[in-house]
Amino acid sequence: MGFMDFFADILLAAGAIGAGVYCMVLSRRLKQFNQLENGMGGAIAVLSAQVDDMTKALERARATASASASSLESLNARAQQSAERLELLLASLHDLPEADTEGQRKMRVARRRHRHDDLEAAE
């Protein structure tokens, strides 16, 4: 065995010892990082739980907004139909004959009563 082989073995052993020390330092840092009570692991766990809660709240808000939008669309359509019906009634009132100045009675306008089933209460 020559001097070069001996020197190579010393360098190899020093590298192995250095790698071992480096692994021990990393292991300790990783343990501290992952502690759930006071390390970064705890902060990450809390943030993860908050993200889950916010995701659930967002889904509930989306469902509520969707239901509200469909309800508003339905109510808007009903309001549009009612407005058209009122416009037609007003137009028909303009066609009624006026009372003469000699005291004749005006024609009475008969209103048709709607059944309660046709009307919906807005919620």
Q: What is the pLDDT of residues 5-17, one digit of tens each?
A: 888 999 999 999 9
Specify the pTM: 0.41
Q: What is the pLDDT of residues 37-83, one digit of tens each?
A: 677 777 788 889 999 999 999 999 999 999 999 999 999 999 999 99
- Contact present, 106 and 99 (Cβ < 8 Å): yes
d(CA 73, CA 70): 5
C-alpha distance from residue 34 to each of 23, 29, 37 (Å)? 16, 9, 9
Which pair of tokens denotes residue 57?
């709240």
- Contact present, 99 and 105 (Cβ < 8 Å): yes
Domain spans of the chain, in order of start: 8-38, 42-93
